[in-house]
C-alpha cells in the first residue's frame, strides 16, 4: 500500500461514497484518491442549532475534565495546609482524578459505539454532579482521594464522548480547528480557579463544579442530538462491544500519535501539578505573581493552539505537529539547563512558556491525526484509548515529580526534558513512516 494511504483503515473502503473525498491528505499535504481518499463525515442529519452552536456546546461539555483539574490546581497548597498533609499527599487527589478519568473513558467509549453518545453522556454528567457535591464535604485526604477517583470516572463521559461526537460530525481540517479550540478552555480555566479562591475556600470549588456539571447536563439534555445512528453501531453483546477497542489497539497510525500526545500531556501535567509549589516555595513568587505567570503561560497555549487551528488546511498537520514538538523540546532542554546551572527565574519562565505553547500545537494536531485514522463506527473506542493514554501519563508523572520533592526544580526539569525528548522521537518514527 502506498505510504500516503497508510493512515486509512481498509475497513473504511466500505463507507458511503460521500465520505471518501479525493483531495490532499491533511496530515501530509499530498494528493490522495481512490478508496484511500481523505474521509469527511456524512452531512449531519440533525443539528437543530447550527454548527457554531454545536461547536460551543461541545467545547463546554469537554471542558468538564480541564475544569475539574485546573480549577483545583491553585488550591493545592491551601488544601494541604487545611488537611494537615504533605504536598505529595495533596497531589494524590489530583492523580486519583486523572486515573479515574482515563479508566472511565475505556469503559464509556466502547459503550457509546454500541448504544450511542447521548444517553451515556447524560448519565455521566448527572453522576458527576452528585460526586462533586460529596467532594466538598470530604473530612480527610483519604476520603477526598477516593471521591476524586469516582469524580474522574464520571467526568470521563464528557471528555471521551465529545471527541467521539466531533469525529461523528466533522472531517480532518474542521476537526483540527475544533480540537484547537479546546486549548482555549484549558488555558482559561486555571485563571478562574485562582480568582474563585479569593472568595471561597477550596471546598467551594467543588460546589462550583457541581453547579457547572448540572448546567452542562441540562444544556446537553435540551440541545445535544444523537450523532451516532443505529446503522453505524455494533452489536450489544460483550464481544461486539469490545471488538472496536481491539481494532483500535492494533492500528499503528492511531497508536503513535496517541503516544506522542500522551508524552506531551505527561510533561504538561508535571508542570501544572508542581508549578504552584516550585514557583512559590523555591522562587518565592507571591500567589498573585504565580497567577500572573500562569496566565502568561496559558495565553501561550491559547495563542499557539489557535494558530495551529487557523493554519490547518493550509499547512499539513504533520508540519504543525513538528513545530509544536520543536518548541516543547526546546522547553525541556532549557528547563533542565536552568535546574543544573542555576540560570534563575527568567530562564524557568521562558522554558515553561515554550512548553505550554508547544503543547498548544502538539495536542490538537496529534488528536486529529489519531481520530481521523479511524472510521466513525469506532470513534468512541478511539477516543477512549486516546484519553486513557493522555490522563494515565498525567496521573503518573505528577506524583513521581512530587515524590522526588517540590523544594527544588530538578525533578520537574528532568521529567519535562525526558518526556519532551521521547515525544519528539515517537513522532519522528510515525512521520518517517508516512514519507
Q: What gap in Å lies between CA 110 and CA 107, rounded to an integer?
A: 6
**Cβ contact 338:345 at 8 Å:** no
Grid cell locating 293: 505567570
Q: What gap in Å lies between CA 170 and CA 59, rounded to an integer?
A: 14
The full length of the chain comes to 435
Q: What gap in Å lies between CA 317 and CA 309, rounded to an integer?
A: 10
- Could you give the 3-state DSSP secondary structure of residue 41? coil
**Cβ contact 7:372 at 8 Å:** yes
Can you name the residues that pair with 24 across neighbouring β-strands? Answer: 31
Sign of CA dihedral 26, 32, 37, 40: positive
Sign of CA dihedral 416, 421, 422, 426: positive
Q: Which residue has the cell 516555595?
A: 281
Q: What gap in Å lies between CA 364 and CA 308, rounded to an integer?
A: 8
- Could you give the 3-state DSSP secondary structure of residue 312? strand
Residues 6+ apart with CB under 8 A from 273: 73, 76, 91, 94, 397, 398, 401, 402
* 23-24 and 20-21 beta bridge pairing: unpaired
pLDDT of residue 51: 66
* 20-21 and 31-32 beta bridge pairing: unpaired
| Per-residue pLDDT in tens (0 to 9) along the chain, 435 residues | 333 333 444 444 444 434 444 445 555 555 444 434 344 444 444 455 566 677 778 878 888 887 888 777 777 888 888 888 887 788 888 889 988 988 898 889 889 888 899 999 999 999 999 999 999 999 999 999 999 999 999 999 988 898 888 888 876 777 787 777 766 666 666 566 667 767 788 888 899 999 999 999 999 999 888 888 888 887 777 777 788 888 898 888 899 899 999 999 999 988 887 887 888 888 888 777 877 888 888 889 889 988 998 898 889 988 999 999 999 999 999 999 999 998 889 999 999 999 999 999 999 999 999 988 888 888 888 988 998 898 888 778 877 887 787 778 999 999 999 999 999 988 887 666 554
What kind and span of H or E run contains 198? none
Q: What gap in Å lies between CA 162 and CA 379, rounded to an integer?
A: 10
- Could you give the 3-state DSSP secondary structure of residue 31? strand
Residue 410 phi/psi, 5-degree rounding, is -55, -50
Task: Name all domains of the chain by residue range, CATH numbers in brackets.
Answer: 50-433 (1.20.1250.20)
Q: What gap in Å lies between CA 68 and CA 208, rounded to an integer?
A: 10
The angle at the Cα of 11, spanning 9 to 12, to the nearest 5 degrees, equals 75
Can you name the residues that pair with 38 across neighbouring β-strands? Answer: 21
224 closest CA partner among 364, 387, 377, 62: 62
**pTM metric for this prediction:** 0.77
pLDDT of residue 8: 40
Residue 306 phi/psi, 5-degree rounding, is -70, -35
Amino acid at each position: 500500500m502506498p505510504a500516503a494511504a497508510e493512515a486509512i483503515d481498509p475497513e473504511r473502503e466500505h463507507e458511503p461514497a460521500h465520505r471518501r473525498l479525493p483531495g490532499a491528505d491533511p496530515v501530509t499535504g499530498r494528493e490522495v484518491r481512490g478508496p484511500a481518499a481523505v474521509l469527511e463525515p456524512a452531512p449531519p442529519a440533525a443539528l437543530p442549532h447550527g454548527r457554531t452552536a454545536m461547536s460551543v456546546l461541545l467545547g463546554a461539555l469537554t471542558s468538564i475534565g480541564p475544569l475539574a483539574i485546573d480549577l483545583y490546581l491553585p488550591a493545592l497548597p491551601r488544601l494541604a495546609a487545611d488537611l494537615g498533609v504533605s504536598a505529595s499527599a495533596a497531589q494524590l487527589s489530583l492523580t486519583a482524578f486523572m486515573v479515574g478519568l482515563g479508566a472511565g473513558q475505556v469503559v464509556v467509549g466502547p459503550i457509546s459505539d454500541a448504544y450511542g453518545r447521548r444517553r451515556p453522556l447524560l448519565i455521566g454528567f448527572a453522576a458527576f454532579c452528585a460526586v462533586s457535591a460529596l467532594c466538598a464535604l470530604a473530612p480527610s485526604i483519604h476520603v477526598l482521594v477516593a471521591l476524586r477517583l469516582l469524580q474522574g470516572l464520571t467526568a470521563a463521559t464528557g471528555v471521551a464522548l465529545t471527541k467521539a461526537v466531533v469525529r461523528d460530525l466533522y472531517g480532518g481540517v474542521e476537526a483540527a480547528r475544533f480540537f484547537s479550540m479546546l486549548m482555549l478552555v484549558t488555558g482559561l480555566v486555571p485563571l478562574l480557579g485562582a480568582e474563585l479562591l479569593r472568595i471561597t475556600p477550596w471546598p467551594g470549588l467543588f460546589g462550583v463544579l457541581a453547579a457547572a456539571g448540572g448546567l452542562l447536563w441540562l444544556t446537553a439534555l435540551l440541545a445535544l442530538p444523537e450523532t451516532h445512528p443505529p446503522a453505524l453501531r455494533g452489536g450489544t453483546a460483550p464481544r461486539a462491544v469490545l471488538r472496536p477497542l481491539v481494532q483500535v489497539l492494533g492500528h499503528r497510525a492511531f497508536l503513535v500519535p496517541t503516544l506522542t500526545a500522551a508524552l506531551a500531556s505527561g510533561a504538561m501535567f508535571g508542570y501544572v501539578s508542581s508549578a504552584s509549589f516550585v514557583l512559590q516555595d523555591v522562587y518565592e513568587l507571591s500567589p498573585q505573581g504565580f497567577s500572573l505567570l500562569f496566565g502568561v503561560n496559558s495565553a501561550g497555549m491559547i495563542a499557539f493552539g489557535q494558530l495551529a487551528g487557523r493554519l490547518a488546511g493550509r499547512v499539513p498537520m504533520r508540519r504543525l505537529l513538528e513545530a509544536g514538538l520543536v518548541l516543547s523540546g526546546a522547553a525541556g532542554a532549557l528547563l533542565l539547563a536552568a535546574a543544573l546551572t542555576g540560570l534563575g527565574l527568567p530562564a524557568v519562565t521562558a522554558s515553561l512558556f515554550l512548553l505550554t505553547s508547544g503543547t498548544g500545537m502538539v495536542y490538537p494536531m496529534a488528536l486529529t491525526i489519531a481520530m481521523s485514522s479511524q472510521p466513525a463506527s469506532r470513534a468512541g473506542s478511539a477516543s477512549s484509548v486516546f484519553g486513557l493514554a493522555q490522563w494515565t501519563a498525567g496521573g503518573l508523572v505528577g506524583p513521581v515529580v512530587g515524590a522526588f520533592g517540590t523544594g527544588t526544580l530538578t525533578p520537574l526539569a528532568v521529567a519535562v526534558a525526558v518526556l519532551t525528548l521521547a515525544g519528539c522521537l515517537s513522532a519522528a518514527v510515525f512521520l518517517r513512516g508516512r514519507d
